[in-house]
Chain A
Amino acid sequence: MLQRISTYLYLRPRLILLLLLLPPLIWFLVVYIGALISMLINSFFSLDSFTGQVVRQFTLQTYAKLLIPTNIQIFLRTTLMALTVTVACIIIAFPLAYYMARYASPRMKTVLYLAVTLPLWSSYVVRVYSWKLILAQEGIISWFAQLLHLDGLLNWYLSSKLLGGPSLSVSVTGIFLVFVYIWLPYMILPIQTALERVPKSLIEASNDLGATPAQTFRNVVLPLAFPGVVAGSIFTFSLTLGDFIVPSLFGNSSFFIGKAVLTYQGTSGNIPLAAAFTMGPIVIMIVYLLIARRLGAFDAL
């Protein structure tokens, strides 16, 4: 009986594929796409400010509310933060990933893999809170700065209007540092994977053809690692765009997208506006991916 089923399926490879794909497909359609569509629909509804009820009628009113200067500023601020965090992650991740892919012994590689992914084992919230201790006014950084007699420098930095604040933990810099810390593993691993796929002979060939290490890096290593960099940056960029915990715990009262969504939906129950807000990062991500494609990030896929 079992054999007959096997034979039946073996002769119909499309059917077996369909059977295998059905569960993930249903999950994907209902949970992912369905949720997205429902959100999109909600963003075209509005909130009756008098009763606090959602009015289920098509309107662009919510989007009009979304695009007021304060909110535009939130989008810009969040995008800028996501970009800086991404760039910082690339700068920190690349050398480590390069070392892991090119030089590390198999043993060392395992150790580094563990070290990179180890933080992901513990709760995100716990790790974020621990940064409170590091960045607080009497925290580790200011203690260390005092020890090195650099507290003057720290205070001077904190007095900066744009980046500073009463202490690091309530400054934009604090948010930035925590974001970089939290998302770094998501950048290291894709870059490392991409670099791993660059055979050593390509680098030798480039040197052989007269290219110095710097020229080789620019013409061979970087273009081939680029898909990995983009993959990593999709993580760091989108995760920063949507995160609400870090901006709630750190920084001053200035809003980021995630925090705004939380406030509108959770606090004021304005689901249409929260939904419209969420469309922001989606649009930004689409633009981001289009630019990445333009730069040839997906050519090698």
Chain B
Amino acid sequence: MGEPAVLFKNVSRHFGDVKAVDEVTLEIQHGEFFSMLGPSGSGKTTCLRMIAGFDRPTSGQIFLYGQDVSNLPPYERSVNTVFQDYALFPHMTVEDNIGYGLMIKGAPKTERMKQVDEMLELVRLPGFGYRKPSQLSGGQRQRVALGRALINHPKVLLLDEPLGALDLKLRQQMQVELKAIQKRVGITFIFVTHDQEEALTMSDRIAVFNEGKIEQVGTPAEIYEHPASTFVAGFVGTSNLVSGEVAERVTGSDARFSIRPEKIHLATVDDKVDDDMFYADGKVRDVIYLGLYTRYLVELDGGGDLVVVEQNLRTTSMDVMKVKDQRVRLLWKKEHVRYVGG
């Protein structure tokens, strides 16, 4: 493996007493689609801004392909950003927006126009060059912002929650498209988001941020299947966290564990329990029908709740809505239980 694209060495950023980023060490590889995932205020955006150069670390160093950029201004880093609000220049046409970086570099106009046209092609906006940003839809602005950043062939492209303002359909479409563009141009993408589904969909690896620290770095599957902490288990997807007395009744030990709702099987109380299974009996308190799947809230006999999700593939054993207030047995494989500390 060569030089990492981005390297954080014990980077901290304090705003007064607030430790927005606290001793973060992180390596992002060349060509990766890397997501920084976390709730707002977790430090992910501050990390992104420090890579871009809008913010400087209070302590620690940031390297870009081996070069210490901690104290370089943004215009001396070959990193480009797609902003959350797109930040398109309202007084310029789409063409001039996309060509801005080249214009600043002093590229001749003919060369600039050629590359702008190529870029318009890449972001699928051919023929939109003469429009003003105000004449574009949200999704189109998004593409212009992407083209404006990519035309400079940055070593790393930073994306600050770029899909946040789009509606669900468009967002899903852009997710696929972004991933395809990243494959095509082969640039390292660093994507900041608070949407765990988005991170899971697009990323090669994800860093989960919480309170200025990284809780876990890993592939989407690792993060989802093996959450390293209570926080990750709760933030990425939904998880049932079971601890104390309730845990002891199920597993025989009071160690805290998490179990994904979709791993739990809903069965009747007289169902057989295999040796590789845990089980708990209870009463269905709530049923929420969500089309693709149904979510059940089950009150366990000895106290505590578990959320169960079942896909609406088969309506064999029970009709979903009739299950309410019924006694049920919850079954899940022992291997799906994650013991999480804390």
Contacts and interface: CB of A to CB of B under 8 A. Distances in A.
Given A204-B74, A224-B90, A299-B91, A210 B83 contact: no
Given A209-B101, A211-B104, A212-B75, A204 B91 contact: no
B232 interface: no
Contacts of A202: 87, 89
B91 A205 contact: no
Q: Interface on chain A toward B: helix, strand, loop, or mixed SS? A: helix
Interface range, A side: 10 to 19
A201 B89 CA distance: 10
Contacts of A215: 104
Contacts of B80: 208-209
Given A206-B100, A208-B52, A211-B104, A224 B91 contact: yes
B96 to A, nearest CB: 10
B73 interface: yes
Contacts of B104: 209-211, 215, 219
Interface string B83-101: 1110111110000000011
A209 B152 CA distance: 8
A212 B80 CA distance: 14
Contacts, number: 65
Given A201-B83, A208-B80, A220 B101 contact: no
Contact of B74 (A201, A207, A220, A224): A207
Interface in B101-125: 101, 103-105
Interface string A290-301: 000000000110
Sorting the interface of chain B by its residue count into under 10, 10 to 19, 20 to 34 or 35 or more gives: 20 to 34
A223 B75 CA distance: 20
B100 A209 contact: yes
B153 to A, nearest CB: 12
A210 B75 contact: yes
A32 to B, nearest CB: 32
Contacts of B148: 205, 209
A207 B80 CA distance: 10
A57 to B, nearest CB: 52
A106 interface: no
Interface string B5-28: 000000000000000000000000
B81 interface: yes
Given A202-B89, A208-B75, A209-B80, 15 more contacts: A201-B83, A201-B84, A201-B87, A204-B81, A205-B87, A205-B148, A206-B100, A207-B53, A209-B104, A210-B104, A210-B152, A223-B91, A224-B90, A224-B91, A299-B91
7 contacts: A204-B52, A208-B54, A208-B81, A209-B75, A212-B75, A299-B91, A300-B90
Interface of B: 52-54, 73-75, 79-81, 83-85, 87-91, 100-101, 103-105, 148-149, 152
